[in-house]
Amino acid sequence: MSRNHSRLGTAIQICLRVLSAAMTLAAALVMMTNEQSTVVFGIPVDAQYTYSQAFKFFAYANLVSCALCLLSLLLFLLIIARRRDCCSSSYIPARPGGDDIGDGGVCHHDGYRLRGEARECAHRLDAHLK
């Protein structure tokens, strides 16, 4: 998959998560603020969401769904930020004449020494670009 497809997929995920959070919040607000009045046999009757257990459940379920959508958006953005930082901030220039022995799993990559997650990220990046 090319980088453009990856960026497009990321943008689509962000848009869908924001859209779903906005729609569930709108549904909850409409349910909670809506009031209706009608006349039944000459008696005025008011209706609110609190009069029915099903409507209460629907309104609260939409609020919970909105909160979970926002939480998933936050986690998704944190994962994206961590992936970008993984490869950009963990490069350490290699020591001239230095060796890997006793360095705790250091590998050389394009003239740089990599440690831990940066090494794994560089290998994933190489595999992705091939």
| Cα–Cα separations (whole angstroms), residue 32 to 20, 24, 63, 64, 110 | 18, 12, 11, 14, 59
Q: Is residue 96 part of a domain?
A: no
Q: How many domains does the chain have?
A: 2
Query: Is 109 found in the same domain as 56?
Result: no
Show the domain range for 55. Answer: 3-89
**Same structural domain, 33 and 82:** yes
Condensed to tens digits (0 to 9), the pLDDT of residues 16-70 reads 999 999 999 999 999 999 888 888 899 998 888 888 899 999 999 999 999 999 9
Indicate whether 83 and 115 sit together in one domain: no
Confirm whether pTM is higher than 0.75.
Answer: no
